[in-house]
Amino acid sequence: MIGFIAVLLFIGANAQAVGSDEDTVRAVIAKEIAAWNNYDPHQIASQYTSDATWQNPFAVRLHSSAELEKFLTKHFQRPGYRAAKDTEQAKIIDLHFPSPTVAVVWSDESSKGQID
């Protein structure tokens, strides 16, 4: 079984992105990926603003960093979730700035063995 993870991320002032400051946004994404690898819902959520939108490929869409942290705290407690092994590292598919304070990031990774 192969699962795909995609994240739609709106980063506001947290990333301090101005114009096309891709390096800043990529650094935020790197921190988020490291937190995912450590199953740390607080660190993941801390990379998002309070008005962020997060979505995965399983139709879960959340609308704040607090909502994301609550969801991930429960999600990471499910024993089948940690059974997955990455088959492809997370990578940024699309990154653009619709305004000077908002970055939209689409990322993707794949894994197998996740149960649930």
Please list the alpha-helical segments (H only) found in the chain: 22-37, 41-45, 65-76
Q: What is the pLDDT of residues 19-76, one digit of tens each?
A: 458 888 999 999 999 998 899 999 999 999 999 999 988 889 999 999 999 999 999 9
Which of 6, 1, 4 has the alpha carbon at shortest distance from 29?
Answer: 6
- The full set of domains in the chain, from first to last, is 2-112 (3.10.450.50)
What is the dihedral angle through the alpha carbons of 56, 59, 62, 68, rounded to the nearest 10 degrees?
Answer: -50
Average pLDDT over residues 86-94: 81
**Which pair of structure tokens corresponds to residue 10?**
């709106």
